[in-house]
């Protein structure tokens, strides 16, 4: 039986594992893909104290740091069921294993919803981006488009308008879906063009990086091409909680609801990082939340009578 079983091996899970192991308690990490989203990231320039690094390098550093401690790492293992059994929680994996723990930290992260058009995968990290806080500064003085007119898309467009030369916001529906206050702010900006009823059909490039985007006007069926250097896809971040539905409380977006200590709705179950309701999905936030969840789990253990 683990004292703390961490599910997820991204920045949040790694931080949770280190903080738990440093308490001298039996700690395990179950991860589908140790490293998480940073494995798909090129440059990281906002992890404070590390001026610049690359995602895969950062992932290796995470793993090396965890391996400094007595942590049982179970990589390439997918959790598919959480079963609360009173004093212990059971985690079942897709491969049929059953793990038991006195406390569990859920850190399964999230994934960006993709638009699935030609060019998106080819130019990912070469003009196609998903995180304005992360990659906005790379497009300083350039032309970009933001795909998606919900709150995140409009926030991204406002944010980017302060950095880049021009922003074209593309919305599939007839109207933007963002809050009125954001829409007002957006429309007040001189270097933003808003195009509605537009279906993105292709992201073009020169083989190395993005140079244009094509869309179809859904009213007229006419095809248009916009020349630009960057495309920010902002059509939603999906938390990896499909396997938890019905077991713990999730927000309407599917995020695990946690309190200020990282406690989820079941006793002994904590959560951290992009998978939770905590806003702003960033590495530095995920690591901080992971540390916090581990300290909360430890606190839970010392207050239970059988530890
Ligand atoms: P994740 O990194 O998503 O890790 C989740 C972990 O859980 C993975 O190990 C995954 O395999 C595992 N997992 C998922 N489901 C299961 C399951 N059922 N069973 C077992 N394991 C499971 N942030 C920044 O701060 N700066 C940046 O420059 C930056 N750039 C980014 C660029 C890109 C392209 C992307 C996609 C994201 C970027 N981010 C950046 C965001 C950052 O990567 C995330 O905020 C951060 O990785 C969240 O950490 P996490 O541990 O919560 O989740």
Phi, psi of 121 (to 5 degrees): -70, -45
Cα 113 to ligand 1 centre (Å)? 13
pLDDT at 213: 98
Any ligand 1 atom below 6 A from CB of 232:
no
Cα 258 to ligand 1 centre (Å)? 18
Cα 273 to ligand 1 centre (Å)? 8
pLDDT at 307: 53
pLDDT at 166: 98
Nearest to residue 79, comparing CAs of 215, 208, 248, 214?
Answer: 248
Structural fold of domain 128-233 = FAD/NAD(P)-binding domain (3.50.50)
Binding-site annotation: residue ranges for FAD: 3-18
Tokens coding 145: 């488009």
What is the Rg, in whole angstroms, of the alpha carbon atoms belonging to the chain? 21
Quote the CA–CA distance of 269 and 265 in Å, as a whole number.
7
As for the ipTM of the complex, it is 0.99
Answer CATH for 2-112+237-303 from 1.10.3720.10, 3.50.50.60, 3.90.950.20, 3.40.50.300: 3.50.50.60
Nearest to residue 133, comparing CAs of 57, 62, 234, 210?
Answer: 234
Q: pTM of the full predicted structure?
A: 0.93
Tokens coding 278: 């905590």
Altogether, the residues listed in the chain come to a count of 307
pLDDT, one tens digit per residue, over 178-200 is 999 999 999 999 999 999 999 99
Cα 17 to ligand 1 centre (Å)? 15
pLDDT at 42: 83
Any ligand 1 atom below 6 A from CB of 7:
yes
Phi, psi of 258 (to 5 degrees): -130, 155
Pinpoint the residues of the chain covered by CATH 3.50.50.60.
2-112+237-303, 128-233
Q: What is the 3-state secondary structure (H, E, C) of the chain?
A: CEEEEEECCCHHHHHHHHHHHCCCCCEEEEECCCCHHHHHCCEECCECCECCEEHHHHHHHHHHHHHCCCEEEEECCCEEEEEEECCEEEEEECCCCEEEEEEEEECCCEEECCCCCCCCCCCECCCEECCHHHHHHHHCCCEEEEECCCHHHHHHHHHHHCCCCEEEEECCCCCCCCCHHHHHHHHCCCCEEEECCEEEEEEEECCCCEEEEEEEECCCCCEEEEECCEEEECCCEEECCHHHCCCCCECCCCCECCCCCCECCCCCEEECHHHECCCCCCHHHHHHHHHHHHHHHHHHHHHCCCC
Contacts of 296 (CB under 8 A, 6+ apart): 261, 262, 263, 270
Write the residue with the smallest CA distance to atom 31 of ligand 1.
41
Walking along the chain (307 residues) 10 residues at a time, the average pLDDT comes out as: 98 98 98 96 93 96 98 98 96 98 98 96 96 94 97 96 98 97 97 98 98 98 98 96 97 97 98 97 97 98 81
> What region, left, alpha or beta, does residue 262 occupy, with left being phi > 0 and alpha being psi -120 to 50 degrees?
left
pLDDT at 41: 87
Buried/exposed code over 215-231 (b: 16+ C-beta within 10 A; e: otherwise): bbeeeeeeeeebebbbb
């Amino acid at each position: 039986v683990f004292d703390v079983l961490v599910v997820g091996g991204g920045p949040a899970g790694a931080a949770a594992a280190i903080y738990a192991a440093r308490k001298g308690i039996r700690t395990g990490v179950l991860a589908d893909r140790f490293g998480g989203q940073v494995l798909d990231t090129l440059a990281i320039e906002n992890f404070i104290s590390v001026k610049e690094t690359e995602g895969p390098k950062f992932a290796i550093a995470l793993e090396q740091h965890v391996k400094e401690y007595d942590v049982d790492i179970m990589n390439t293992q997918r959790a598919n069921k959480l079963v609360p059994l009173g004093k212990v929680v059971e985690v079942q994996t897709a491969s049929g294993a059953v793990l038991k723990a006195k406390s569990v930290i859920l850190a399964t992260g999230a994934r960006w919803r993709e638009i699935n058009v030609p060019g998106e995968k080819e130019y990912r990290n070469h003009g196609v981006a998903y995180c304005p806080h992360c990659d906005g500064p790379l497009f300083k003085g350039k032309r970009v488009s933001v795909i998606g007119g919900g709150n995140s898309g409009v926030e991204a467009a406002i944010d980017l308008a302060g950095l880049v030369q021009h922003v074209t916001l593309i919305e599939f529906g007839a109207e933007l879906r963002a809050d009125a206050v954001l829409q007002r702010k957006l429309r007040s900006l001189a270097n933003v063009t808003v195009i509605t009823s537009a279906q993105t059909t292709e992201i073009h490039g020169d083989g190395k990086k993005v140079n244009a985007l094509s869309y179809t006007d859904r009213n007229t069926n006419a095809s248009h091409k916009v020349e630009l250097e960057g495309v920010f896809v902002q059509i939603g971040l999906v938390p990896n909680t499909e396997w938890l539905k019905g077991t713990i409380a999730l927000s309407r977006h599917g995020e695990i609801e946690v309190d200020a200590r990282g406690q989820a709705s079941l006793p002994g179950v904590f959560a951290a990082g992009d998978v939770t309701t905590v806003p702003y999905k960033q590495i530095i936030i995920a690591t901080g939340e992971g540390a916090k969840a581990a300290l909360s789990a430890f606190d839970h253990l010392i207050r239970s009578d059988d530890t």
